[in-house]
Amino acid sequence: MSALSFDSDSSVPTQVAETTVRVEMGRRGAWELTVAGEDTRIVCPTLADAMREARSIAGTRPSELIIRDAYHRLVGHERLGIDCKHPG
């Protein structure tokens, strides 16, 4: 999926690729965070830690956050990035 962004020089929108960040519970109870298209895998002891890390990775770029439990059931889904406001 992509989002529209406006180039600083003009009012013409440009396409910005959206990044997918996945948080999934691993076999040993830890939460594993991966970013689509990257080889990075981050292991966090709690879901709260994984969510903070995901928001940090998303930064200001448009991102989709997908959270799944150990059985691959959808636990949560958020849009992160430029126009999103995050709780502390």
Band of the pLDDT at 67, cuts 50, 70, 90? Answer: very high
| Distance (Å, whole) CA 77 – CA 6 | 26
pLDDT: which is higher, 27 or 75: 75
Residue 52 CB burial class (10 angstroms; 0-12, 13-18, ≥19):
middle
Q: Mean pLDDT across the stretch 76-80?
A: 89
The mean pLDDT value of the chain amounts to 80
Radius of gyration over alpha carbons of the chain, in Å?
Answer: 14
What pLDDT was estimated at residue 26?
87
Closest CA to 55 of 30, 83, 86, 34: 86
Band of the pLDDT at 83, cuts 50, 70, 90? Answer: low
* Domain locations in the chain as residue ranges: 18-77
The answer to whether the CB of 54 falls within 8 A of the CB of 80 is: yes
